[in-house]
Each structure stands twice: as C-alpha cells, then as structure tokens.
Amino acid sequence: MKWNWGTGLAVTYIAFASATIGFVVFAMNRPVSLVRPDYYAESLREDQQIAARANARQLGTTVSIASEGPDVIRLSIPADQAATARGSIVLYRASDPAADRAFAFTPDAQGSQQIRLNALASGHWIVKLHWTAAGRDYDTEQPVMLR
C-alpha cells in the first residue's frame, strides 16, 4: 500500500471518527445527577424564595447560622417569632446528593435550635433554613466547612 495524501486523509478521518464515537460511548455511560430531580418545578417557586430571602434579610443580624464547636451548629431567629415559627433545615452537600440531610426547625423560646453534625462527612456543606412565622415565609442559607 502506498502512502500518499489521500491515504493520510482517510486515516486521519477514521481516527477522528473513532475518537468521537469512543467519547460518545464514554459520555453516555457516565452517571448524570442533577442538583434536584424536580429542578423545573423548583424553578417555578423561585419568586417565592426570593421574597422569603428578602424577608430574612430585613430581620438583619437576628437571624444567624453559627458553628459552636466542631460538630454543633446553632440556628437563631428573633425571639418574638419563636412561638409560631415552624420550618425545615436542610444540610445540602453539592458533591453527593445522597448525603443531604433534612431536619424539622422547631426553635426554643429564645428562637434557637442546635443541630449535631457528628455523623456527617467532612467537607463543604450548605445549611439552608426555611421557616414560616406569622404568615410570612423566611429563607436563609450559609456555607459550613466540616472537618
């Protein structure tokens, strides 16, 4: 077989096509994990979340998510909301959706609640706090690094 420019062109085309097909096969076998399985429905609730975050920002520093040692987080809201406040706490881990944890938010009379984190993997987590008090929704979140 004689190697000329036509043969080189054919070999190059076949190599490119083979590499493309190989990459497609590789990509199709990779797991696809969305941040949320219901991301479209969640995006429709975005306006409500924006309003809830604005409500929480209006409360100022009375809303806090603070670390109290290596394995405890304290969540606080204003004490005047504590009697009627109910909501949820989500510990969100972007790198592993199966590791997410959810808790009920039931603050004490001073408006705070502690969460123990000793069973969680170390790394980057986001603590999301959503609550309703006196007919208004509130929402805040804060990143936390566990060691």
Q: What is the pLDDT of residues 47-98, one digit of tens each?
A: 888 999 999 999 888 888 888 877 888 899 988 888 889 999 999 988 887 8
Instruction: Please return the burial class of 59, using the count of CB atoms within 10 Å of its CB with bins 0-12, 13-18 and 19+.
Output: middle
CB of 34 closer than 8 Å to CB of 96? no
pLDDT of residue 34 exceeding 70:
no
Give the pLDDT confidence score for residue 1 in this predicted structure. 64
pLDDT for the residue numbered 28:
93
Top pLDDT among 1 and 39 is at 39
Q: Mean per-residue pLDDT for 23-27?
A: 96
pLDDT recorded at residue 43? 79
Mean pLDDT of 34-45: 76
SS (H, E, C) the chain: CCCCHHHHHHHHHHHHHHHHHHHHHHHHCCCCCCCCCCHHHHHHCHHHHHHHHHHHHHCHHHCEEEECCCCEEEEECCHHHCCCCEEEEEEECCCCHHHCEEEEECCCCCCEEEEECCCCCCEEEEEEEEEEECCEEEEEEEEEEEC
pLDDT in tens, 104-125: 998 998 889 998 887 888 888 8
The answer to pTM > 0.85 is no
